[in-house]
């Protein structure tokens, strides 16, 4: 039997069990686990983003987890620039690599490349967000369509639409034009591409259990500490699922049961978007199923 590929990509929706599978594989092979989840980059929300626990991180070499401050904005490009040297150095050491997460754009950047777009001033992004919020998605799409700048963005993907509009306004070029002549960070023909899948109802049930566990582990206190820093609500970390919902509870606008229910609902919507991405962008990936007890992350 040939040796396993040196680089394995493990994608999947929230609560599918991909992190637990990666940990199991890393312990068996000595592989380095590299994070490909945009929210697990942030140091301030270990509980709320279901980052690997301190105990799990001690069992294998984890990289790119909790490396960003809440005050920072990490784009796909910034993640790719930080991750590529880790991949190269680990490969040079002849160690296996597991790249794990639920952010489809990160995997797309790895396999298809991502050009270095000039830094976009925050004022441009704020203006684009205002256009989206005040005039709606249809108007933003029309503005982008005039420059053929949003044809591959899924309906309801506010973050990518705002990004595309801010880049277009700031540079005069569509995002796709910046991305046209790119090189992948890894060779898609020489890596194993896995999607941890499961029945949607099972994912939802795991999501329900996870929210209860987060509350028990201190998610309320975690969000309270974050809110006390007075950060801009426009920062990515402030838009993590659970921050707004628990924030409403913390200030007394809702009860804890209502906040927990809102987190469950938001997580289910997120899972639906992830599954849509997987069907449209990862149809050729190998499907695997993880059974309990490895099915909580």
- pLDDT of 150 reads 64
Please give the structure tokens belonging to residue 154: 């899924």
Q: CA 129 to CA 158: how far, in whole Å?
A: 9
Q: Contact at 8 Å (CB) between 295 and 204? A: no
Q: What is the 3-state secondary structure (H, E, C) of 9-44?
A: EEECCCCCCHHHHHHHHHHHHCCEEEECCCCCCECC
Q: CA 274 to CA 296: how far, in whole Å?
A: 16
Q: Contact at 8 Å (CB) between 127 and 166? A: yes
- pLDDT of 1 reads 39
Distances (CA, A) of 105 to 115, 160, 178: 13, 10, 15
DSSP letter for 238, please. Answer: G
- pLDDT of 22 reads 96
pLDDT beneath 50: ranges in the chain:
1-4, 293-297
Q: Contact at 8 Å (CB) between 105 and 164? A: no
Q: Which residues contact 177 (CB under 8 A, 6 or more apart)?
A: none
Domains and CATH numbers, the chain: 7-115+190-198+283-289 (3.40.50.300), 122-179 (1.10.20), 200-276 (1.10.287.890)
Strand order across the beta sheet in which 192-197 lies: 61-63, 32-35, 97-101, 7-11, 192-197, 286-289
pTM above 0.85, yes or no: no
Q: CA 38 to CA 33: how far, in whole Å?
A: 15
Q: What is the pLDDT of residues 192-204, one digit of tens each?
A: 999 998 788 889 9
- pLDDT of 198 reads 77
Distances (CA, A) of 119 to 62, 122, 148, 167: 29, 9, 21, 9
Q: Which residues contact 46 (CB under 8 A, 6 or more apart)?
A: 53, 66, 222
Q: Which residues contact 112 (CB under 8 A, 6 or more apart)?
A: 182, 184
Q: CA 238 to CA 64: how far, in whole Å?
A: 19
Please give the structure tokens belonging to residue 270: 């997120």
Residue 230 in 3-state DSSP?
coil
- pLDDT of 68 reads 96
Q: How many CA atoms lie within 13 A of 145 on its CB side?
A: 6
Q: What is the pLDDT of residues 32-53, one digit of tens each?
A: 999 999 999 999 999 999 999 9
Beta bridge mates, 32: 61, 97
DSSP letter for 236, please. Answer: G
Q: CA 181 to CA 285: how far, in whole Å?
A: 24
């Amino acid at each position: 039997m040939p040796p396993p590929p040196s680089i394995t990509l493990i994608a999947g929706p929230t609560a599918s069990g991909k992190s637990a599978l990666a940990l199991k594989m890393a312990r068996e092979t000595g592989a380095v686990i590299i994070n490909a989840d945009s929210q697990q980059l942030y140091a301030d929300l270990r509980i709320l983003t279901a980052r690997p626990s301190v105990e799990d991180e001690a069992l294998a070499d984890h990289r790119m987890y909790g490396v960003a401050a809440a005050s920072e904005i990490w784009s796909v490009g910034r993640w790719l620039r930080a991750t590529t040297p880790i991949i190269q150095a680990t490969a040079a050491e002849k160690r296996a690599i597991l790249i794990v997460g639920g952010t489809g754009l990160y995997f797309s950047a790895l396999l298809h490349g991502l050009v270095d777009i000039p830094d976009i001033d925050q004022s441009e992004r704020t203006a684009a967000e205002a256009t989206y919020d005040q005039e709606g998605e249809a108007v933003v799409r029309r503005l982008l369509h005039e420059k053929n700048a949003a044809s591959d963005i899924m309906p309801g993907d506010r973050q990518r639409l705002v990004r595309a509009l801010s880049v277009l306004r700031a540079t005069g070029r569509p995002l796709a034009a910046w991305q046209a002549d790119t090189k992948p960070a890894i060779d898609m023909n020489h890596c194993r591409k896995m999607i941890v899948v499961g029945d949607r109802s099972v994912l939802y049930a795991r999501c329900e259990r996870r929210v209860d566990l987060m509350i028990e582990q201190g998610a309320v206190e975690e969000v309270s500490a974050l809110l006390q820093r007075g950060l801009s609500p426009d920062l990515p970390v402030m838009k993590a699922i659970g921050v707004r919902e628990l924030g409403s509870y913390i200030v007394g606008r809702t009860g804890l049961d209502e906040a927990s229910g809102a987190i469950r609902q938001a997580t289910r919507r997120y899972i639906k978007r992830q599954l849509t991405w997987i069907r449209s962008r990862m149809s050729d990936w190998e499907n695997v199923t993880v059974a309990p007890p490895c099915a909580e992350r």
